């Protein structure tokens, strides 16, 4: 019995040494294979999986061009997955690491759009609008002949309009709370800082009303007269004429 047991042990030891019987360590995928896996996931809208694969590409320290492709891919995946904070940071990182790359202008454009897509209501934090505006304006300076310039200029106009609306919103708030001097300051600031905004009939109307409350009749008359002259179709036109006729 002991002899049989010894034979079985020897047989087992011999089998483990035979070719094909020992376990073969798994081969790690190459950077190119990882990139291809990420691209496949990206095309199927599996953006989180794509990001994970492309982050693995970066960890292998591939050649510079494959590294750049993985980095812009990560940013694009975040953007399409609506993760705009992460996307903005990734596009900025790409620009810092590859300032002369052919996709640097695309990265700046998408970075600006990422901030733009974080904009919420007029009564919330205006930081995303300010960030987007600064990035869009920077784009026109760096890439004045880019194919994206016309779209960027539209976004600049829109962002400036939103900032003007915010100033008017605050000015109206001050007016409603009887802080008339503060309202005047905010509304005059909106006129000075955003002269191209098309909705300044509202600004002029409340500026005129606030000025009347603090007996600044010349300022009120100037604001209301300008409203009537420059905005003949304004919804505030009738009220502006009544104020001029009744109090000035």
DSSP code string of 81-101? TT-HHHHHHHHHHHHHH-TTS
Give me the pLDDT at residue 122, please.
85
**Sole residue written with tokens 């104020």:** 243
Say what the pLDDT of residue 15 is: 41
pLDDT, position 1: 45
Tell me the DSSP string of the chain: -HHHHHHHHHHHHHHHHSTTTSPPPPPPPPHHHHHHHHHHHHHTT-HHHHHHHHHHHHHT---HHHHHHHHHHHHHHHHHTT-HHHHHHHHHHHHHH-TTSTTHHHHHHHHHHHHHTT---TTS--HHHHHHHHHHHHHHHH-TT-TTHHHHHHHHHHHHHHHHHHHHHHHHHHHHTT-HHHHHHHHHHHHHH-TT-TTHHHHHHHHHHHHHHTT-HHHHHHHHHHHHHH-TT-TTHHHHHHHHHHH-
Q: Which residues of the chain have a pLDDT value below 50?
A: 1-24
Instruction: For CA atoms 105, 109, 115, 118, give the dihedral sign.
Output: negative
Give the count of alpha carbons within 13 A of 175, CB side only.
Answer: 23
pLDDT score at 26: 65
pLDDT at residue 24, as a whole number: 46
* Alpha-carbon span 236 to 234, nearest angstrom: 5
Q: What is the pLDDT of residues 94-152, one digit of tens each?
A: 999 999 999 999 999 999 999 999 999 888 889 999 999 999 999 999 999 999 999 99
**What is the predicted pLDDT for the residue at 246?**
83
Contact in structure between 108 and 142 (CB atoms under 8 Å): yes
* pLDDT for residue 105: 97
Report pTM. 0.83
Q: How far is CA 152 from the centre of its chain?
A: 13
């Amino acid at each position: 019995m002991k002899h049989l047991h010894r034979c079985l042990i020897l047989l087992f030891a011999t089998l483990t040494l035979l070719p094909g019987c020992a376990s073969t360590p798994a081969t790690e995928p190459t950077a190119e294979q990882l990139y291809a896996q990420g691209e496949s996931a990206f095309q199927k809208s599996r953006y989180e999986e794509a990001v994970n694969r492309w982050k693995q590409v970066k960890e292998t320290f591939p050649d510079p061009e494959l590294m750049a492709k993985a980095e812009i891919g990560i940013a694009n995946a975040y953007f399409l997955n609506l993760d705009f904070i992460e996307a903005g940071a990734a596009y900025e990182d790409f620009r810092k690491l590859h300032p002369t790359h052919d996709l640097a202008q695309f990265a700046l454009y998408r970075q600006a759009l990422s901030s733009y897509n974080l904009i919420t209501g007029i009564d919330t934090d205006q930081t995303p609008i300010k960030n987007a505006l600064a990035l869009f304006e920077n784009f026109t300076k760096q890439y004045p002949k880019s194919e994206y310039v016309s779209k960027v200029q539209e976004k600049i106009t829109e962002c400036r309009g939103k900032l003007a609306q915010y100033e008017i919103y605050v000015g109206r708030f001050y007016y409603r709370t009887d802080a008339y001097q503060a309202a005047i300051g905010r509304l005059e600031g909106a006129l000075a800082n955003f002269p191209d905004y098309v909705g300044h009939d509202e600004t002029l109307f409340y500026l005129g009303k606030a000025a009347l409350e603090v007996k600044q009749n010349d300022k009120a008359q100037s604001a209301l007269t300008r409203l009537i002259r420059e905005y003949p179709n304004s919804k505030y036109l009738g009220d502006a004429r009544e104020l001029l006729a009744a109090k000035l």
